[in-house]
Amino acid sequence: MKSTVESNRKRSSIPIKSTTLNTSNNNNNTKLKSTATPTIKKQPLGIANNNIRKPTTTTNMLSSKRKSNEKEPTRSIRPRVDTGKSTFRRTSSTTTNKSGKTAKESNSPRPQQQAKKTQTRASWDLRGKISDMEETRHANESKIAGLSQVWRDLEDTVADKETKSREVSQRLVELQTMREVAESKHGEEIEKLKSHHMQQNRALEENNSTLFTKLTEMQNEDSTMKQRTQNASKRHILAQTENLALQETVSRTSASFLELEAELTSLRSSHEMTDRKISEHDQYIEELKQEVQITNADIKELETRLLGGEKMRRKLHNTIQELKGNIRVFCRVRPPLESEKLRDGNLAQIQYYGEDGEKLELTETLSSTLGKKTIKSHPFSFDKVFAPETTQEECFEEISQLVQSALDGYNVCIFAYGQTGSGKTYTMQGPSGPVLSSSMGMIPRAVQQIYDVTQKLNERGWKYTMEGQFLEIYNETLHDLLGDTSNYGKIKHDIRHEKHGKTIVTDMTTVILDSPAKVNMMLRKASHNRATGATNLNERSSRSHSVFMLRLTGINPTTKEHSSGVLNLIDLAGSERLALSGSTGDRLRETQAINKSLSCLGDVIHALANNKDGTGHVPFRNSKLTYLLQNSLGGNSKTLMFVNISPLSEHFNETICSLRFATKVNSCRIGTAKKLTPPSRSQKNAGT
Ligand SMILES: Nc1ncnc2c1ncn2[C@@H]1O[C@H](COP(=O)(O)OP(=O)(O)OP(=O)(O)O)[C@@H](O)[C@H]1O
């Protein structure tokens, strides 16, 4: 270390021209303080200063500094020694003396004065010149003295620093030695520790990654658990709410349970009472059972008698009907309508009389050509005359026995004959529009009666079926009034008479009338179809016959009896057309058809009346109507004709015509009616 420092000193020497100490001057004028290292005295100031300013502890640092100093050999160095007393600056032109003034400042007047003196002194003034030189020398000496003082301070400082530097170097060497020893001693151990440390580090890293994985899993688990906890808390809240509700229910139930318990107790006591009563009743029932057995035996005996009685009733009923005549005529006068009541003298003069109300007399006033007025009366007698105030119910009472005959297995025909507007449709069906039960016509009443009777007959072992057909005869053509509206008038229907008195119309709709409500539906549909057919032909209903055919079939499995009857309810076309003349085209054909069918009806009735032995010819085939009713007119049938008349005087002549036609019919006494015999099973199978 020492050698390095020394060499550095040598290499760092800086030439100082103006401030280089003159040894001769030193010896003569100034005495430098004694130095610990006299060799250093001879060294230039720059070396010492350099070491002082940059004290370093390592060789490297010193060498690097040296290099930097070598690079700037000409730079002026201003070593500053912080002694606390003075500052030494060395420049080419400036020095500092002891008093603090720079050498330049302190010496500057002298050269000027010297110059002045040189200038002013004469060449011969040698003394003066010597004195000037003396002054200069004094000034230099004082300057040197200041510098010497600075130099000494610096030397002290350098000595201190060098001492410290040596100590530091020595310590450094020791430390290096110690380090080398330690390194050699602990190197192996350190390596082991390092490898151990690395192993541990790896293990720790692995552990760390495992722990990280576990941490992630735990975090996931944690979030799952949090979610579960949230769900659980929600469920908990719900459960709490439910629990509260349940608690309420439980409290309510408990209350009601208590009530029920009380009720149960009372019920038990009443149950005991009921038990007692039941046992009493059981005893009573046993007694009753014995009575019932006795009664059943009585009932059986009575039923046997009743069946005999029913047979007797039918026989007697038929005898009565025969006595009344198998063709009967009822006359019905309709009441005037509200609009018809307003005019005076509008109504015809009609008197009603007879013990059973079976007669009426119409009177008219006739004027002769001479102006003489005579009153002419037209008396008529029928089986029954219904005055205008007669209700539908009263009318039906009279025909209900005929309906019963149909149930008993006879063919029954009920006609309504009369001019247009005389009340035929009202009598047969009821008023148009909504129908009250009081204004129901003969058809719904007949069905209602049949329904009621069959219900009672069911109890006596009879099973009845009611099949209804509704057809219209217009211009000698048959139409199905219960069929599809679109087919109306498109299908050709034929009439066929089977053996044993059954008449069939082909392709005709048949409705099973198992309730009275169905009859109303059927009537509505028929009038709707009739109205549809009437769109092209005005007032169709007045110009066609409508026929409602109700077939009644009854079987009594107990007595092996059969019953098959037909009830025909016919609303005839307006009879006044008979008198019309001058019609053309469709009207003429219509008039002819009506005329023909109604006159044929009269002819058939007349022929039947004159054909008591059944050998004569009856012209049934002359019209569709009579051919259709072939099995319902004559020997084995019962016929009733309503002759409906108008109360108006303006219809007087038509009324007289109708009453005369009815009288003609009424005068006929058709042969004894015979019951229809249903075909045997073998005949049915043969299709005959
Ligand atoms: N007994 C009666 N009581 C009350 N009103 C009646 C009675 N008879 C008929 N009328 C009324 O008289 C009017 C004519 O009756 P209805 O239509 O039954 O005559 P009609 O003979 O059937 O006529 P058409 O031949 O044109 O069918 C109707 O308004 C009907 O309500």
- 470 or 638: which leads in pLDDT: 470
pLDDT at 539: 58
What does DSSP assign to residue 667? T
In whole angstroms, give the CA distance from residue 571 to residue 403: 17
- What pLDDT is stored for residue 636 in this prediction? 67
Whether ipTM > 0.90 holds is yes
Determine the pLDDT at residue 34. 38
Q: What is the pLDDT of residue 386?
A: 95
Q: How far apart are CA 564 and CA 550, in angstroms?
A: 11
Model confidence at 555: pLDDT above 50: yes
The 3-state secondary structure of 403-441 reads: HHHHHCCCEEEEEEEECCCCCHHHHHCCCCCCCCHHHCC
Say what the pLDDT of residue 56 is: 40
Query: How far does residue 423's CA lie from ligand 1's centre (Å)?
Result: 3
According to the model, what pLDDT value does residue 288 have? Answer: 92
pLDDT score recorded for residue 633:
81
Whether the predicted pLDDT of 339 surpasses 90: no
Which atom of ligand 1 approaches the CA of 416 most closely?
Answer: 21
Coil/strand/helix, residue 327: strand
In this structure, is the dihedral angle defined by the CA atoms of residues 514, 517, 521 and 527, taken in order, positive or negative? positive
Q: Is the CB–ligand 1 distance for residue 390 below 6 Å?
A: no
Asked whether residue 429 is marked as a ligand-binding residue, the answer is: no
Q: Which residue has the higher pLDDT, 686 or 27?
A: 27
| 44 token code pair | 């230039």
Model confidence at 533: pLDDT above 50: yes
C-alpha of residue 483 to centroid of ligand 1, in Å: 26
Mean per-residue pLDDT, 474-480: 89
Q: What is the distance between the alpha carbons of residues 189 and 187, in angstroms, rounded to a whole number?
A: 5
Taking CA atoms only, the protein residue closest to ligand 1 atom 31 is 431
pLDDT at residue 403 tops 60: yes
Average pLDDT of 311-330? 70
Residue 63: HSE in the Cβ half-sphere, 13 Å Cα cutoff: 6
- E strand or H helix at 503: strand 503-505
Determine the Cα–Cα distance for residues 46 and 54; give it in Å rounded to an integer: 12
Is 276's pLDDT higher than 80?
A: yes
Establish whether 146 is an annotated binding residue.
no
**CB distance 335 to ligand 1 below 6 Å:** yes
Check residue 470 and give its pLDDT.
93
The yes-or-no verdict on residue 627 having pLDDT over 90 is: yes
Ligand 1: residue whose CA is nearest its atom 11: 423
Ligand 1, pocket-test mutation among 330, 338, 391, 425, most atoms within 8 A of CB: 425
Dist CA 319 CA 405 (whole Å): 11
pLDDT > 90? residue 330? yes
Alpha-carbon distance of 185 to 307, in angstroms, equals: 146
In this structure, the residue with its CA closest to atom 15 of ligand 1 is: 423
User: How high is the pLDDT of residue 318?
Assistant: 66
Q: Nearest C-alpha to atom 1 of ligand 1 is from which residue?
A: 334
Q: DSSP 3-state assignment of 687?
A: coil
Domains detected in the chain: 2-181 (no CATH), 325-668 (3.40.850.10)
Mean per-residue pLDDT over the chain, rounded? 77
Q: How far apart are CA 210 and CA 207, in angstroms?
A: 5
Ligand 1 binding pocket includes 422 (Cβ within 6 Å): yes
Between CA 448 and CA 640 the distance in angstroms is 19
User: Are residues 571 and 424 in contact, defined by beta-carbon separation less than 8 angstroms?
Assistant: yes
pLDDT at 639: 87
419 is in an annotated binding site: yes
| Rounded distance from Cα 424 to ligand 1 centre (Å) | 6
Q: What is the pLDDT of residues 1-51, one digit of tens each?
A: 444 444 444 444 433 333 333 433 444 443 333 333 334 343 444 333 444
Distances in Å between the Cα of 356 and the Cα atoms of 318, 359, 383, 384, 398 are 21, 8, 9, 7, 12
Q: Give pLDDT tens digits for 110-133.
A: 555 555 555 577 788 888 888 888
Other beta carbons less than 10 A from residue 670's beta carbon: 20
Cβ–Cβ under 8 Å, residues 519 and 444: yes
- Cα-to-centroid distance, 416 and ligand 1 (Å): 11
Residues contacting 107, CB < 8 A, separation 6+? 139, 143
* 629 Cα: distance to centroid of ligand 1 (angstroms): 25
pLDDT at 361: 95
Least confident of 82-91, 108-117, 136-145, 266-275: 82-91
| Phi, psi values for residue 612, rounded to 5° | -70, -30
What average pLDDT score do residues 189-205 get?
Answer: 87
At 480-489, the pLDDT tens digits run: 999 887 777 7
pLDDT value of residue 322: 63
Mean pLDDT of 602-611: 83
**Distance between CA atoms of 496 and 478, rounded to whole angstroms?**
13
The reply to whether ligand 1 has any atom less than 6 angstroms from the CB of 386 is: no
Span of 66-75, 515-524, 531-540, 619-628 with lowest mean pLDDT: 66-75
Residue 670 pLDDT: 56
49 lines ligand 1 (CB under 6 A): no
Is residue 421 a known part of a binding site? yes
Give burial (CB, 10 Å; 0-12/13-18/19+) of 349.
middle
Q: Is 418 annotated as a binding-site member?
A: yes
Going from the Cα of 339 to the center of ligand 1, the distance in angstroms, rounded, reads 14
Instruction: Measure 425 CA to ligand 1 centroid, in angstroms.
Output: 6
Give residue 417 CA to ligand 1 midpoint distance, Å.
12
Distance 525 CA to ligand 1 centre (A): 19
β-bridge pairing 477-480 and 463-474? antiparallel
Q: Which residues contact 562 (CB under 8 A, 6 or more apart)?
A: 409, 553, 554, 555, 556, 678
- The answer to whether the annotation marks 420 as part of a ligand binding site is yes
Q: Which residue has the tokens 């330690």?
A: 182
Q: Is 674 annotated as a binding residue?
A: no
**Whether the CB of 392 sits within 6 Å of ligand 1:** no
pLDDT for the residue numbered 120 = 72
425 lines ligand 1 (CB under 6 A): yes
The residue among 586 and 372 whose pLDDT is bigger is 372
CA of 321 to the centre of ligand 1 (A): 29
Whether the Cβ atoms of residue 158 and residue 48 lie closer than 8 Å to each other = yes
Nearest CA to ligand 1 atom 4: 335
Contact (CB, 8 A) for 641 and 605: no
23 belongs to an annotated ligand binding site? no
171-175, 219-223, 604-608: least confidently modelled range: 604-608
Percentage, residues of the chain above pLDDT 90: 28
Give the residue, out of 424, 426, 545, with the most ligand 1 atoms within 8 A of its beta carbon, to mutate for a pocket test. 426
469 close to 509: Cβ distance less than 8 angstroms: yes
Using most ligand atoms within 8 A of CB, pick from 334, 389, 474 the residue to mutate for ligand 1.
334
Residue 325 confidence class, pLDDT cut points 50, 70, 90: low
Name which of 69-78, 399-408, 476-485, 537-546 the model is least confident about. Answer: 69-78
- Give 458's pLDDT tier (boundaries 50, 70, 90): confident
pTM across the whole model = 0.55
CA of 390 to the centre of ligand 1 (A): 14
Can you give 631-660 as a three-state secondary structure string?
CCCCCCEEEEEEEEECCEHHHHHHHHHHHH
Distance CA 42, CA 21 (A): 10
Q: Which of 366-370, 469-473, 506-510 is predicted with the least confidence, judged by mean pLDDT?
A: 366-370
What pLDDT is stored for residue 427 in this prediction? Answer: 95
What Cα–Cα distance (Å) separates residue 348 from each residue in 359, 419, 513? 16, 15, 42
Three-state secondary structure of 262-277: HHHHHHHHHHHHHHHH
The string of pLDDT tens digits covering residues 565-605 is: 999 999 998 876 544 455 667 777 777 788 888 889 888 88
Atom of ligand 1 nearest to the CA of 426: 18
45 CA distance to ligand 1 middle (Å) = 165
**Ligand 1 site, residue 574, Cβ cutoff 6 A:** yes
